[in-house]
Amino acid sequence: MRMRDTFLKPMHPEGRRFVAIFALATVALFMITPILGWIGVGLTVWCYYFFRDPKRVTPIRDGLIVSPADGIVSLIEQAVPPPELGMADLPLTRVSVFMNVFNCHVNRAPVAGRISAIAYRPGKFFNASLDKASADNERNSLCIDMADGRQIAVVQIAGLVARRIVCFGTQGDAVQTGERFGLIRFGSRLDVYLPDGVAPLVALGQTMVAGETVLADLASHEAARPGRTD
């Protein structure tokens, strides 16, 4: 990898107008005072990195479920999927990945399959790291039907700062594991509802990389993994 590739990442098209707005504001701030201008430069660089869309290497073995988001595993618990998806009203293991404002916010499909349902629901904007955010916050939910007949739910949840959920997929679309399907501005959370009987292979507090970190394995009978913080 070339040195410049370490710092210069591709930017998602969704971010272009925001970077342009920040840049124009920076020019105006320089006309007022250089101090404010340099603050504007810093904010413009942050905006560019917020919308970065780096390439990812996705493991493609059948049965692997990968993380749909960069961030930290903030919750692992039993919960019923969003009712608007029309899935069975049964508790499943829910793994929540919290994204702060410095994480890459491009979301990727955790499994390959077909999107059988997409449902948007307006709501509140609590801190996305809180448990009640899953029920009360604005959200966009997807149900993906896998080739073996099982389903997995992925829910984009707006947070305290986030005010815009973007989903690129539509009902009936086929997706591949690790394929980009959406993003959220500017700090938020992704919930994944695993199929019944599937245990997560990640632990609370673990750092996740969208499209790369293996979240669970449909072919494994391993128990949920504990974690240790050093």
The catalytic residues are: 188
Rounded to 5 degrees, φ, ψ at 161 are -100, -35
Rounded to 5 degrees, φ, ψ at 215 are -90, -35
Name the DSSP class of 52.
B
Q: Is 218 in contact with 200 (CB distance < 8 Å)?
A: no
Q: Which residues does 79 contact at the CB level (< 8 Å), separation at least 6?
A: 91, 92, 94, 134, 193
Helix (H, G, I), strand (E, B) or coil at 97: strand
Rounded to 5 degrees, φ, ψ at 118 are -135, 130
What b-and-e string marks burial along 201-216, b requiring 16 or more CB atoms within 10 Å of the CB? Answer: bbeeebebbbbebbbb
> Whose CA is closest to 214, among 197, 199, 195?
199
Pull the structure tokens for residue 114. Answer: 């077909």
Q: CA angle at residue 28 from 26 to 30, to 5 degrees?
A: 70
